């Protein structure tokens, strides 16, 4: 499956100071955006002499900020505090010796310095300067002071410099900067290292070569949970039936099955390696005792169908659990009786169960929204109000993180 970057959805405030390396900022902005980040740019006056704000505004799709005053005549000003609050990270690349000194000593003579002093988000700087400037004790002391205060210093590289000298001082290449930021966000993900296995969608139990017993499950909720777990850092494997929605990017493995028995075998083969198993799929409880390998004609169709039980995928996973595994599933009801959810949780020996109901207007199978109630084996419960399934999945994962951490 296609990879998913930890930068996806992140808001990066890109600061550019006056260095010849400013021309690389265009490539850097594109690389950050290619990995899914939203980028806004703050430039010093000197930086605008090396690369135009128009170039960066065109690339990022946002206006570029460089002056405190937006319009002298109208009396409007750039809200540096708002900019400082917007970003998930402030990246200054290139960061000149002057800018590093200003950051270290708290001076505030341009908009970029004001944004730095106002920023509540993490800060990273990519120094760029000539060999002797970078080697100077004052520069070293300033960068060390910033590092001590928690600023990530992206070490410059060695090579030919604009002065004609050769040595350390070249700004780290844009691809390497983006990779370093990606690694930073990955390290902070709460479920990093967790292996999750989910079942998704319906199963189809064949009557003949074209007809089947099934249900209205689309796979929306299951894939929303896959995405939420992926975004929290987990490695995600999905065993999915015949879903009617696209498979998300960034999953470690996707196994396509059709019947409950195929889903059961796929889970048996993979469950032991998982730290977390969630049975989201609407697995058919029964199947026809016999099915034809060709299409039955109208006069050949049976007047009744003998049904036999399918394996209980969720119960089997719980029964075979290894120490430390967290096992949960979904319970769909047509009413509003949480007792049904509690009973299923206890009967199957689960750590948690997510109760949902077809009684919600627009909720449950095939819908874009749902109201969920999380029930846990310690007797606690939490209801997530009717909301988009992707939002509900994110909220649900946030509540599962402490449960996983306790194991």
Whether 43 and 140 share a structural domain: yes
Residue 72's pLDDT band, with cuts at 50, 70 and 90, is very low
Whether 243 and 340 share a structural domain: yes
Largest CA distance in the chain: 93
- The number of C-alpha atoms within 13 Å of 41 and in the hemisphere containing its C-beta is 32
Model confidence over 112-159: pLDDT tens digits?
999 999 999 999 999 999 999 999 999 999 999 999 999 999 999 988
Tell me the residue range of the domain where 261 lies: 195-405
CA distance 80 to 239: 48
Pairing of strands 38-43, 11-16: parallel
Query: How many domains does one find in the chain?
Result: 2
**pLDDT of the residue at 79:** 61
Flag whether pLDDT at 75 surpasses 60: no
Whether 365 and 220 share a structural domain: yes
CA distance 184 to 168: 24
Flag whether pLDDT at 55 surpasses 50: yes
Look at residue 176 and tell me if it is in a domain.
yes
**Residue corresponding to tokens 């890109």:** 14
Look at residue 215 and tell me if it is in a domain.
yes
CA distance 5 to 404: 23
**Which of residues 187, 204, 227 is at a domain's end?**
187
Whether 263 and 155 share a structural domain: no
Residue 62's pLDDT band, with cuts at 50, 70 and 90, is very high
Model confidence over 341-380: pLDDT tens digits?
999 999 999 999 999 887 765 556 767 888 899 999 999 9
Whether 173 and 216 share a structural domain: no
| CATH at residue 274 | 3.40.50.10300
**pLDDT of the residue at 39:** 97
Residue 69's pLDDT band, with cuts at 50, 70 and 90, is low
Look at residue 310 and tell me if it is in a domain.
yes
Whether 344 and 226 share a structural domain: yes
Residue 250 and residue 230 in contact, taking contact as beta carbons nearer than 8 Å: yes
| CATH at residue 176 | 3.40.50.1950
Q: DSSP per residue over 211-254, as a string? A: -EE-----SHHHHHHHHHHHHTT-EEEEEE-S-SSPPPTT-SEE
Whether 401 and 256 share a structural domain: yes
Whether 21 and 63 share a structural domain: yes
Which of 213-217, 221-225, 266-270, 343-347 is least confident?
213-217
* Catalytically annotated residue among 215, 310, 356, 380: 215
**pLDDT of the residue at 335:** 79
Look at residue 6 and tell me if it is in a domain.
no
Residue 70's pLDDT band, with cuts at 50, 70 and 90, is low
Beta bridge partners of 387: 370
Look at residue 313 and tell me if it is in a domain.
yes
Whether 114 and 209 share a structural domain: no
Whether 269 and 394 share a structural domain: yes
Look at residue 303 and tell me if it is in a domain.
yes
Model confidence over 146-194: pLDDT tens digits?
999 999 999 999 888 777 778 888 999 999 999 999 999 999 999 999 9
Whether 167 and 259 share a structural domain: no
**pLDDT of the residue at 342:** 96
The number of residues making up the chain comes to 407
**Which of residues 187, 203, 231 is at a domain's end?**
187
Whether 251 and 166 share a structural domain: no
Look at residue 172 and tell me if it is in a domain.
yes
Look at residue 18 and tell me if it is in a domain.
yes
Find all residues with CB under 8 Å of 274, minimum gap 6, and list them. Answer: 195, 196, 197, 237, 325
Q: Please classify residue 15 by burial: count the beta carbons closer than 10 Å to its beta carbon, then call 0-12 exposed, 13-18 middle and 19+ buried.
A: buried
**Which of residues 169, 187, 205 is at a domain's end?**
187
110 is catalytic: no
């Amino acid at each position: 499956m296609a990879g998913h970057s930890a930068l996806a959805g992140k808001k990066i405030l890109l600061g550019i100071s006056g260095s010849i390396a400013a021309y690389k900022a265009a490539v850097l902005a594109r690389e950050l955006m290619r990995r899914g980040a939203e980028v806004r740019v703050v430039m010093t006056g000197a930086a605008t002499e090396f690369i135009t704000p128009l170039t960066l505004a065109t690339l990022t799709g946002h206006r570029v900020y460089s002056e405190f005053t937006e319009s002298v005549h109208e009396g409007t000003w750039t809200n540096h505090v708002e900019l400082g609050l917007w970003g998930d990270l402030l990246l200054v690349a290139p960061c000149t010796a002057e800018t590093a000194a200003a950051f270290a000593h708290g001076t505030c003579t341009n908009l970029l310095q004001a944004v730095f002093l106002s920023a509540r988000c993490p800060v990273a700087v990519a120094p760029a300067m000539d060999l002797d400037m970078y080697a100077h004790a004052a520069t070293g002391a300033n960068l060390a002071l910033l590092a001590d205060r928690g600023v990530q210093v992206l070490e410059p590289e060695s090579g030919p410099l604009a002065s004609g000298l050769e040595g350390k001082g070249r700004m780290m290449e844009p691809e390497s900067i983006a990779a370093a930021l990606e690694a930073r966000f990955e390290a902070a993900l709460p479920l990093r290292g967790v292996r999750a296995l989910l079942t998704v969608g319906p199963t189809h139990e064949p009557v003949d070569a074209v007809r089947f017993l099934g249900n209205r499950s689309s796979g929306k909720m299951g894939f929303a949970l896959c995405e939420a777990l992926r975004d929290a850092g987990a490695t995600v494997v999905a065993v999915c039936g015949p879903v009617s929605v696209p498979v998300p990017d960034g999953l470690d493995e996707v196994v396509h099955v059709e019947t409950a028995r195929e889903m059961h075998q796929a889970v048996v083969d993979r469950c032991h390696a998982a730290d977390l198993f969630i049975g989201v799929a609407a697995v058919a409880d029964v199947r026809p005792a016999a099915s034809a390998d060709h299409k039955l004609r109208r006069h050949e169709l049976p007047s009744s169908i003998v049904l036999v039980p399918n394996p209980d995928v969720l119960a089997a996973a719980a029964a075979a659990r290894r120490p430390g595994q967290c096992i949960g599933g979904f319970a769909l009801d047509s009413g509003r009786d949480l007792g049904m959810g509690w009973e299923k949780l206890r009967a199957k020996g689960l750590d948690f169960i997510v109760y949902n109901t077809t009684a919600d207007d627009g909720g449950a199978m095939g819908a874009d929204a749902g109201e969920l109630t999380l029930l846990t084996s310690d007797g606690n419960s939490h209801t997530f109000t009717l909301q988009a399934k992707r939002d509900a999945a994110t909220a649900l994962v946030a509540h599962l993180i402490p449960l996983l951490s306790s194991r």
